[in-house]
Amino acid sequence: MNNTFELFKKRFLEIEQMGWISSHRAGNDGGVGNTLEDLLDIAENNYQLPDMGEWEIKSHRSTSNSLLTLFHTEPEPRSAKIVPSILLPKYGWQHQEAGLKYPNSERSFRATLHFTEYSDRGLKVSLDYDKKQLYIDFDYTKISERHNAWKETLEKGVGLDNFAIRPYWSFDSIQKILDTKIANLLYVNVDRKTVDGVEFFKYQNFEAYMKPTLERFLRLVEDGSIYVDFDARTGHNHGTKIRIRPSRKIDLYDVHIEV
């Protein structure tokens, strides 16, 4: 442990003693993390750098089963601008709020994918150990009948073959993020309640994780615990996230300490 860890521990104990704290981001799904960052005086960032010194800080509602975002990373090759130039315009579908909140032409490419099965749009996470890549695979035979209209637009447009330029992440690029962005993780457990429409958080305790490995990461991919989450619409890519089931984060790291 180091001085940054001890500083966080000291400040966290002060926050813990504050009890219930109203959200600093009303109506924001990320309010639990944003509020903690404000209390710690940390600027919000999605860059490949830790939040506090060499420590990345994640917070999660104790009763939530939602996936935990490990890091943001756009697919390679970066020069192809895969999401805005290929996935969204060529493989996207009409946004559910097209004609309401957005113009009729609004398209969407939102998909949470993993290794163990194809999505109902024929997409899944795959691994190529020869090329040392995690990549996205497309198989039109796996498209659900309820997406037949979308399948027909693909057939008339880009075609039903697999991606001409497949979206991928090299093992080397994943290793680099493991060694920098999330090499040391502080995971904060949070209780939540709502009073008269106002959301409150109580920051209860935290855990420290250190030394993630690529081997562990790939094993978690293979058992379906790591997800690739796309979230793009016309004119706005919210960013591609690598996410994990919270209960499996312990299996990503060599060292785990409960504080």
Which segment of 36-45, 146-155, 202-211 scores lowest on mean pLDDT? 36-45
Q: Using alpha carbons, select from 237, 191, 168, 152 the residue that is nearest to residue 23.
A: 191
**DSSP codes, 90-118:** HH-EE-TTBTTTB-TT-EEEEEEE-SSS-
pLDDT digits (tens, 9 = 90+) for 58-70: 888 877 888 999 9
What pLDDT shows up at residue 130? 98
1 pLDDT band (50/70/90 cuts)?
low
Q: What is the pLDDT of residue 43?
A: 57
The model's pLDDT over 17-62, given as tens digits with 9 standing for 90+, comes to: 999 999 887 766 668 888 888 888 865 555 444 567 789 998 888 7
pLDDT tens, position by position, 217-249: 999 999 999 999 999 999 899 999 999 999 999
Inform me whether the pLDDT recorded for 7 exceeds 90. no
Q: What is the pLDDT of residue 82?
A: 97
Q: Which of 94-103, 113-122, 199-208 tops mean pLDDT?
A: 113-122
The SS3 call for residue 158 is coil
Please say if the pLDDT value at position 107 is more than 60: yes
**226/244 Cα distance (integer angstroms):** 5
**Start-to-end CA span in the chain (Å):** 12
pLDDT one-digit tens code per residue, 152-175: 999 999 999 999 999 999 999 999
Reported as a pLDDT band with limits 50, 70 and 90, residue 259 is confident
Global pTM reads 0.89
Greater pLDDT, 196 or 230: 230
Quick one: average pLDDT of 137-147? 98
